[in-house]
Structure 1
């Protein structure tokens, strides 16, 4: 890891409280990665104290609901192949059959709303240059402007945190960064 990560004992009281709440939700295999992530954020406790309320609010207190939020997060994780993001489940509202449907997007166990969210989140995470007006038209058939904006914020948060895991070397070979030459070809036609 390129940046020092604090141990749990070195975290601020606020960060230790967050860690105590989150650690039981993380698969034991990925706990070392998650501890390093929390230790990284522990370097900036004043920012973490502002960050976590926003992070948990956009994640758990939004108009999309837990199932759609989790499907969006997992659609991004599927594209980045982040093992930590793929290993964690934050709601029982999403089954392993649902997760398996994400690569194909049109699986029969996802409804139209869910497919719209997964298609958008997958494009957001894989190649945002490929997002077109049709993505928004599809979303607007099912969601309010408020919900679409929440989805945008959530996708940015999920993708950005995955990138932090990769570039700070908290995870190893996962979370591949996009091939910028390929993206430029796609964007320019």
Structure 2
């Protein structure tokens, strides 16, 4: 059971929580679509980041959607991005200039901006999912059970 009831607005349980305010729901969904569809970053990279962050946030709803990150560790660009995203989730205060120096080895400044914006949005979404207690039971598109992770 979620901590607040699901509204009638939205397509997913997550959207139905936000749907208590349709203006917020609309803008939230617009931003999500923009981040996924209009980014210069590869969609696989974004998905691997989203997956990794789900475990940092402890959002069951997000963890069971696609499971753990699934990439070859030799893919340095994805590894660097995930490491940065995990650090952002754990303690954004500990991010130093050196972290940005490393990002600049693999990403343009535009990509770094998009990466940080995406990470911020996903972090907020997943924390909302955790706070409102969206468990794996609400995830209709689950590919894995929490007990198997």
TM-score of the two chains, using structure 2 as the length reference: 0.78
Higher relative contact order (CA 8 A, sep 6+): 2
Following TM superposition, the consecutive aligned residue runs of length 4 or more in structure 1 with deviations greater than 4 angstroms are none
| Distance of 2:28 and 2:48 partners within structure 1 | 22
From 37, 59, 62, the equivalent of 2:36 is 59
> Residue by residue, what CA displacement relative to the aligned partner does 1:4-51 show, whole Å, maximum 9, x if unpaired?
322xxx32xxx3xxx2xxxxxxxxxxxxxx52x222122111222222
Unaligned runs of 5+ in 1: 20-33, 90-95, 102-107, 173-189
Aligned to 1:159: 123
Query: How many equivalent pairs are there?
Result: 135
Aligned to 1:2: 3
- RMSD across aligned positions (CA): 2.2
Unaligned runs of 5+ in 2: 137-149
TM-score of the two chains, using structure 1 as the length reference: 0.63
| Distance of 1:66 and 1:100 partners within structure 2 | 13
Q: How far is 1:100 from its partner?
A: 5.7
Q: For the structure 1 residues 2 and 77, does the alpha-carbon distance in structure 2 shift closer, same or farther, using more than 3 Å as the test?
A: closer
